[in-house]
Structure 1
Amino acid sequence: MTGSRPLQTIMMALRCREKRLTCVGNITVSKVPESNMALSVLSIFLGLLLEVSTHGPTGIPRTTWKHQEVNLIQFTETGIFNYSILLLNEDTNVLYVGAREAIFELDMENISVKKNEVFWKVPEEKQTACVLKGKSRETECLNYIRVLQVLNDASLYVCGTYAFQPTCDYLSLQDFKLENKNEDGRGRCAFDPAQSFASVMVDGDLYSGTAFNFLGSEPIIHRSSPQMSLRTEYSISWLNEPSFVFADVIRESKNSPDGDDDKIYFFFTEVSVEYEFVGKLSIPRIARVCKGDLGGQRTLQKKWTSFLKAKLVCSMPELNFVFNVVHDVFILKTPDWKETVIYGVFTSQWGNIGLSAVCAYNMSTVDEVFSKGKYMQKASVEQSHTKWVRYNAMPPSPRPGACINNIDRLQNISDSLRLPDKTLQFIKDHPLMDDQVLPIGNGPKLIRRDVNYTQIVVDRVRALNNNVYDVIFTSTDKGVLQKAIIYDNEVHVVEEIQLFTNFEPIKTLLLSSRGKWLYAGSDAGVVQSPTAFCEKYLSCADCILSRDPYCAWDSEDNSCVVQDHESRKSNLIQNLNGDANVCPRVKYVSSDDYQKIIVKPRNAAELQCQLKSNLAKVVWKLNGTVLSVEDSRYHLLRGDSLLILSVSEQDLGNYECWSEEQVKSSSFAQLVAGFVLSFDLNVPSTTSDPTSTATTTTTPLNPVIQTEGNANTAESTLTSTSPGSTTPTTLPSQTETKLTPTSSTTVQTLWTLPIPISDVPNLETKDPSTEYIKSNNSNALLLLFLLFFILFLALMAYNCYMQFLPPPCLKLRAALLGSNKKAKPEYMACEAGLIEPIVEKTVQIEAHNQNGAQQKGLRDTGYETEPDCSNGKIPTTKHLEEPQESKDKPFDVICESQPIEYADADAPC
């Protein structure tokens, strides 16, 4: 690891396995134990995660709308769950919803209007059989609709899990009833409702990515066709535990000069076969098959001869952080298929790190990888292990995995049944491409922290300047919808909307082709949302600063409207770079229009202000001077509102709440609320508590004004909203007040006025959020400190008395208590237990010690020892009188008869 990069990518970091080699970054460690290897990888990943969390880019939504703040239409049925399949037919203005054991036909303009419904339940005997296989009767052994495709103008093709026995049927649109044909759904629909699944209907043939068996251990990409049904080879090199997320068709045969075929693309995440890791490493994939594929004549019979797959790369190159799990994909199609753009949402598989990314890919790049890229092949290592390496030799002709084109037809190869076995055998052994599909710009379009994206749809919008912009809608696992726009290779998150009140994951997202409505499905129901909330922006400045390509400011009606390309007006204003200087200028506001706040001396007052933009910062002014929040008298509540503690005479005056928002090099200031704080000594106090709080209540304000540079040059009309009304009304002209902008750069002042709901007679109404001001915690803190100090002294005294403390404490104890006890040397108590007391010996030992020498105590070494003897018997006087041998021999064993053969053997005597 060098420089600021924590590692050279996780996938490339662990690519060695020969002789248990482990590569970490650029360092190769040989024969690393698995435990040490896991710790090394964990430490590297934690370091990488710390750097990504610290330096990784983010996208903050400018505006946040709560569920109750916007107009949303919902549909739900009692007892029905899992609304996870949506199908839109804009020709008939119908939205079809597939749920658990039910299919609904709704009005796409208002989904709360139900036109038809049909229920498809599982018979009791099939439920019982499902339960006997170990599944749940209440959840798993039901029929979850997983396929809902248009077969023709008269019928839909539907498939369900059907209690782990996938079944398909036809739904007649004339009477909205099932035809009860009950076809076998294996290979067309998933067994398990929790399994991943993707399908698409192409010219009457159903292409599905699913599992083919009950256990889900045999994944396939299958085509169900009356002419020729095909599937993938059951091999790890073809599909290795895939999780399918999306499938769609790209019409490449239209106006194709080389007679190419249409292709069906599948997107999934699978376990890697080319990279080696301590665990299962996930890799996002894109795979394709040709629509006209008929399988092979001898090799790959009834199998795909055009199946190829490649890796989708979505990473942060500056940090070498890889997003290796794809959750959803949307293909933004164009008349020329080469200009088609693929959008996908990705996360990382390692833990819940809370990072999500959106990456975009050009279809031309995908086609180049499959048509010109290198293949990968297996290579045996030490006869027991297989690695995947690049195949550098020339592939056979025709090119393996390619669709039949005019060049092949000139060689008398009109379909895949005529392909040579050499080409078919090559594609059977080499389905994986070595070249990778890189994203546009070599990095993500959008990265968010603490967000897990689940679904994505993209709309292409033409703005008033005739430029085309991609608007990205992403949903999260918390029921939130986010909208972002790509402008000058930058992403601006316009807004986020809470679609579901219970914060449940959004499982499906559908956008109407007209770009007017967006539909989201979850376990609880379906929500219909407009693609833009232009009417929520009450001023030209907010409308422009939102940078929403759907919205434009109507200068005649003084409202933010959805711009319509068919009936464009000349008075519409739009500027997606966020420069609000294009808005009409309006007149300043007199302080007479500010809200009057009367408070008693030494009381607390709260001035309520709420900024609409998450990108703006709040600035409070008192009589034109910016207040410092570091002053102990002022506190910001909930980030915006101002709390004044113990109002004194110097706190009286005009308070203004400003919203300052930076857009590139320009700064725009907006007056959100204004207050006049004064004393009323004639009003009797309703409370004896000097810390009572006076609060204010304001309605959402109407920002309408903007000027640039010198505020004295602004002249126009000020508009505001009356209580309970959303229609702007004109206020009478007031005396101008000249206020100095808070920024040294070019500042645009955008004025608004607070409109009180009603005159509050009792101005000393208390706010629960300021009740903490009344309490004095100094006495409680002092008592708590004294309690802990007394406990500390008691604990010290007890340890000193029990002689648990060092000698200085014991000397102090002896001096105070008059004890004659002396401090013992360190470890003396421990050594005492190691000394063996003197034991009275037998008469033989006494005879042996004739010189009167005293037997010394033996130190206990933890082993039982005996005096040396010749045969291990009880020692006698004879043995004791024998002279001691020299201690040259091993273990001091006296042995003359036989040598010791082993070092740990008993010495035979």
Structure 2
Amino acid sequence: MALHRGAMHPLICISISCFLPLALMRNVDSPLDCVPRRYVPYHSDNGHLFREEAVSNYTVMLLREDVNLLLLGAREVVYALDLDDISKKRASVKWEVTQQQKDDCKIKVRDPETQCKNFIKILHRIEDDMMYVCGTNAFDPECDYMSYKNGELTLAQAGEDGKGKCPFNPFQRHASLMVDDNLYSATSINFLGSELVLMRSSPPIRTEIKTSWLNEPNFVSLVQMPESDQGNDDKVYLFFSETAVEYDCYKKPVVVSRVARVCKNDLGGTRTLQRKWTSFLKARLECPVPGSQLPNIIQNTYLWCDPQKHWKECVFYAIFIPQSDTSEVSAVCAYSVSDVNRVFAEGQFKTLVRVETSYIWVAYSGDVPDPRPGSCQTESMDLPDQTLLFIKDRPLMDDVIQPIGEKTLLERRGAAFTSIVVNQVQATDGRIYHVMFIGTADGTLLKAVNYDGEMFIIEQVQLFQSPEVIKVLQFSNVTGQLYAGSDYGVVQVPLATCKRSLSCMDCILARDPYCGWDSEAGSCVALSSTQRRLIQSVREGDASLCPTTDSVHVVNKSFLAGGSVKLPCPSMSNLATTDWEQDGHRVAPSLRHQLLKDGLLILNATDSDAGLYRCLSAERSKADKYTATVAQYQLSVKGEPRIPQAQRKGPSVVGLQVAIGLLTVSLVALLAWNFYNGHLPLPWNCSRKMGGKSYESNTQEDPGPL
């Protein structure tokens, strides 16, 4: 048997190296350059900004909709901001490290100026309207209790040990979750950051320090999933990436994306796995992006559940980025919770076997003990050693979790995706749509919807004046606002941005489920803001539903002959094409007529350029192609024609010189002809003729003496 497996070892490596990339390249027809319909550049009117000088890392948020507050954790301070307008600070409390803590920290770290501070990393609500807050505390994590009363934030100064709850290093990824006033955390338990665990605070329980459990992980998020009415089958899911132990035949370490699961009622084992998880299982997540030679790496997740449906209908949304420098494609994949649960409940396990002089991970084909490892129905203290030993050595599933439809929802080349939240909205057609808000590494926010398999990006908004990585996103259904945090500051923007559409066609072609055209008001408005019937067509973009509108107002413009004139026509959509007409005839681009992105530029204008100009915008949706007049201008000449100054060089100078030469030759010839025929006296004979006549006259008058 060992010889047989030894012969198979290179075949396993070949299958991994060949078929893994092929599996990741299946979706070869997916567009990589999904263009947002509208780009919205940075402007202070885009949303409210909060930041304070000398403060950074605004990356921990807690919504307190009960008191209309956004609790915001930053470096050495916690803020309470007005949820309706975060630029209004209600309260704040500082949590700074002492000089002694700074001195102790300098011995441990490489960069004391940036690391020896107290970075707030955990902020959760607990019972009695209190809040639990933890900070890195100059590489000595500490936790405390915080309250908000009478308009003030107050720390209890409890001084709880934060090891295993909060990271030591402020720049090491971690995750945390509060469930029934019990903290679940995924972080390091030593200041070197080398021992990383998934831990629950009470009763204390954590993962084994084994590479088969966690191998150099980067933690992403923790999510609770209530899967039973009694709570005995509730689970907590951990999303992370790690160095894969199963792909050890690659020359370089391969990083893969994972989801792990533990039971909420897990208390650890009696003898085996004491104070360790007895239910910890993990599986690989696949998000197939065309052209990717290595698995893509998970960055952020969001759990969406319809409260009216069963928990199995819930969906995990996740964003991925490439681990190779040769690709710039980020992606969004969605996973059914029932599919994830099925892999853990019914899938095969992997096991480590010896092959010649090494070990490899293969699918386990033996008997699985009963109760099944990872099951939450049996009390962990009652589990037999056979089940506990099995899960201790084999926490990895052989089955790979595929996304819904086995393909991505969205792929896009450019700035890496960093964060995602998903909001549901009911459109006028009665259907529920999931709107994805995606933060990027250059400070832009994408707003996208999947319509029957077609991914449509409604807009891309620049939230910060200079590129800033968006590290956290949250939204409030109460205020209808979205909150984006970065190291620089926090921005608040509305979920519905209907006012950016100025016409009915623009409003309909935006295909924004939040918005519709109000014919009575003549404006694009949010569905939630009115009871009137609105025009909307999100799946098709049928702009023929729009009422007939009056023609666009004609603007009079005049120009000086020989000068230049620009006719503005800003495009409202990146999906539209623009054409110009002059007196009903198409204006073809030329050296004198330049079709710009935001208008028409006419150079060296002449009388022939006068007339009625129309800017036509054409945009195709799933329903049809629609054309509308965006702007109209009546162009006319003003004043006398201006004589252009002669150029110093060029064809016009040569022509002028030739004309002057011909004119000179003609004039000389004409003068010579007149001189020859005596029509004009020669210039040198003028004085002689005049003198002779005088002389003859004098002699005739004076004949002399007789």
TM-score, scaled to structure 2: 0.86
- The question of 1:72 aligning with 2:47 is answered yes
User: Which residue number in structure 1 is paired with residue 633 of structure 2?
Assistant: 675
User: Which residue number in structure 2 is paired with residue 573 of structure 1?
Assistant: 535
- 1:502-525 Cα distance to aligned partner (Å, 9 max, x none): 111111111113470100111111
Asked whether the 8 Å contact 1:602–1:690 carries over to 2, the reply is no
User: SS in structure 2 opposite 1:357?
Assistant: strand
- The question of 1:643 aligning with 2:629 is answered no
- The question of 1:333 aligning with 2:305 is answered yes
Cα–Cα, structure 1 residues 584 and 187, in superposed 2: closer, same or farther, change >3 Å?
Answer: same
- The question of 1:616 aligning with 2:590 is answered no
Quick one: which amino acid aligns to residue 297 of structure 1?
T
Distance 1:634 1:17 in 2: 69
User: Which residue number in structure 2 is paired with residue 601 of structure 1?
Assistant: 561
| Residue 647 of structure 1, CA deviation | 2.6
- The question of 1:262 aligning with 2:221 is answered no
- 1:773-809 Cα distance to aligned partner (Å, 9 max, x none): x997999xxxxxxxxxxxxxxxxxxxxxxxxxxxxxx
Identify which of 622, 630, 653 aligns with 1:664.
Answer: 622
User: Which residue number in structure 2 is paired with residue 248 of structure 1?
Assistant: 223
Identify which of 278, 287, 292 aligns with 2:251.
Answer: 278
Asked whether the 8 Å contact 1:169–1:183 carries over to 2, the reply is yes
User: Which residue number in structure 2 is paired with residue 486 of structure 1?
Assistant: 450
Asked whether the 8 Å contact 1:167–1:186 carries over to 2, the reply is yes
Asked whether the 8 Å contact 2:30–2:411 carries over to 1, the reply is no
- The question of 1:202 aligning with 2:179 is answered yes
User: SS in structure 2 opposite 1:351?
Assistant: coil
Quick one: which amino acid aligns to residue 550 of structure 2?
K
Quick one: which amino acid aligns to residue 211 of structure 1?
S
Asked whether the 8 Å contact 2:232–2:265 carries over to 1, the reply is no
| Residue 599 of structure 1, CA deviation | 2.4
The correspondence of residues 102-141 of structure 1 with structure 2, limited to 5 A, is 102-141=77-116
**Structure 1 vs Structure 2 CA RMSD:** 2.8
Identity of aligned residues (%): 42
User: SS in structure 1 opposite 2:528?
Assistant: coil
Identify which of 188, 200, 208 aligns with 2:165.
Answer: 188
Quick one: which amino acid aligns to residue 81 of structure 2?
L
Quick one: which amino acid aligns to residue 160 of structure 1?
G
- The question of 1:526 aligning with 2:490 is answered yes
| Residue 600 of structure 1, CA deviation | 2.9
Size of the alignment, in residue pairs? 640
The correspondence of residues 775-854 of structure 1 with structure 2, limited to 5 A, is none
User: Which residue number in structure 2 is paired with residue 288 of structure 1?
Assistant: 261
- The question of 1:301 aligning with 2:278 is answered no
Asked whether the 8 Å contact 1:85–1:508 carries over to 2, the reply is yes
- 1:123-180 Cα distance to aligned partner (Å, 9 max, x none): 1111101102233232100000000011123311111001111111111233521111
Asked whether the 8 Å contact 2:27–2:288 carries over to 1, the reply is no
| Residue 675 of structure 1, CA deviation | 1.9
Identify which of 255, 276, 296 aligns with 1:324.
Answer: 296
User: SS in structure 2 opposite 1:573?
Assistant: coil
Identify which of 438, 442, 452 aligns with 2:416.
Answer: 452
User: Which residue number in structure 1 is paired with residue 205 of structure 2?
Assistant: 230
Cα–Cα, structure 1 residues 322 and 331, in superposed 2: closer, same or farther, change >3 Å?
Answer: farther
Distance 2:16 2:225 in 1: 40
- 1:465-516 Cα distance to aligned partner (Å, 9 max, x none): 2110000000111111110112112111111111111111111111113470
Cα–Cα, structure 1 residues 182 and 105, in superposed 2: closer, same or farther, change >3 Å?
Answer: same
User: Which residue number in structure 1 is paired with residue 526 of structure 2?
Assistant: 562
User: SS in structure 1 opposite 2:113?
Assistant: coil
Quick one: which amino acid aligns to residue 235 of structure 1?
K
User: SS in structure 2 opposite 1:423?
Assistant: helix
Distance 2:295 2:186 in 1: 22
- 1:867-892 Cα distance to aligned partner (Å, 9 max, x none): xxxxxxxxxxxxxxxxxxxxxxxxxx
| Residue 541 of structure 1, CA deviation | 1.2
- The question of 1:369 aligning with 2:354 is answered no
Distance 1:20 1:269 in 2: 23
User: Which residue number in structure 1 is paired with residue 507 of structure 2?
Assistant: 543
Quick one: which amino acid aligns to residue 421 of structure 1?
D
Distance 1:561 1:261 in 2: 44
| Residue 653 of structure 1, CA deviation | 2.0
Cα–Cα, structure 1 residues 439 and 776, in superposed 2: closer, same or farther, change >3 Å?
Answer: farther
- 1:576-619 Cα distance to aligned partner (Å, 9 max, x none): 12101111112335xxx422332233333322221010111111
Distance 1:58 1:99 in 2: 35
Asked whether the 8 Å contact 1:547–1:575 carries over to 2, the reply is yes
- 1:625-654 Cα distance to aligned partner (Å, 9 max, x none): 22232x3432223x3422223333443322
Asked whether the 8 Å contact 1:16–1:22 carries over to 2, the reply is no
Asked whether the 8 Å contact 1:603–1:690 carries over to 2, the reply is no
User: SS in structure 2 opposite 1:552?
Assistant: strand
Asked whether the 8 Å contact 1:191–1:214 carries over to 2, the reply is yes
Quick one: which amino acid aligns to residue 466 of structure 2?
N
Distance 2:579 2:11 in 1: 64
| Residue 689 of structure 1, CA deviation | 4.5
User: SS in structure 2 opposite 1:427?
Assistant: helix
Structure 2 stretches of 5 or more lacking a match?
A: 1-6, 654-706
- 1:69-120 Cα distance to aligned partner (Å, 9 max, x none): 7441111122211001010011211110000000011110111121111100
User: SS in structure 2 opposite 1:370?
Assistant: helix
Asked whether the 8 Å contact 1:159–1:185 carries over to 2, the reply is yes
- The question of 1:382 aligning with 2:356 is answered yes
User: Which residue number in structure 2 is paired with residue 588 of structure 1?
Assistant: 551
User: Which residue number in structure 2 is paired with residue 310 of structure 1?
Assistant: 283
Distance 1:778 1:125 in 2: 82
Distance 2:56 2:94 in 1: 13
Cα–Cα, structure 1 residues 181 and 20, in superposed 2: closer, same or farther, change >3 Å?
Answer: same
Quick one: which amino acid aligns to residue 137 of structure 1?
P
Distance 1:347 1:169 in 2: 35
Greater RCO (Cα-Cα under 8 Å, separation 6 or more)? 2
User: SS in structure 2 opposite 1:535?
Assistant: helix
User: SS in structure 2 opposite 1:233?
Assistant: coil
Asked whether the 8 Å contact 2:578–2:615 carries over to 1, the reply is yes
Distance 1:269 1:231 in 2: 18
Quick one: which amino acid aligns to residue 661 of structure 1?
E
Quick one: which amino acid aligns to residue 327 of structure 1?
Q
The correspondence of residues 430-469 of structure 1 with structure 2, limited to 5 A, is 430-469=394-433
Structure 1 stretches of 5 or more lacking a match?
A: 1-14, 28-40, 409-414, 692-773, 780-909
- 1:258-307 Cα distance to aligned partner (Å, 9 max, x none): x7511111111111111232212111111111110000011101000010
User: SS in structure 2 opposite 1:64?
Assistant: strand
Cα–Cα, structure 1 residues 166 and 172, in superposed 2: closer, same or farther, change >3 Å?
Answer: same
Cα–Cα, structure 1 residues 626 and 229, in superposed 2: closer, same or farther, change >3 Å?
Answer: same
| Residue 665 of structure 1, CA deviation | 4.8
User: Which residue number in structure 2 is paired with residue 83 of structure 1?
Assistant: 58
User: SS in structure 2 opposite 1:603?
Assistant: coil
Cα–Cα, structure 1 residues 252 and 272, in superposed 2: closer, same or farther, change >3 Å?
Answer: same
Asked whether the 8 Å contact 2:516–2:526 carries over to 1, the reply is yes
The correspondence of residues 389-404 of structure 1 with structure 2, limited to 5 A, is 389-404=362-377
User: SS in structure 2 opposite 1:315?
Assistant: coil
Cα–Cα, structure 1 residues 88 and 587, in superposed 2: closer, same or farther, change >3 Å?
Answer: same
User: Which residue number in structure 2 is paired with residue 96 of structure 1?
Assistant: 71
| Structure 1 runs (4+) greater than 6 angstroms displaced | 51-55, 774-779
Asked whether the 8 Å contact 2:32–2:329 carries over to 1, the reply is no
Quick one: which amino acid aligns to residue 146 of structure 2?
L
Distance 2:198 2:88 in 1: 37
Question: Larger strand proportion, structure 1 or 2?
Answer: 2
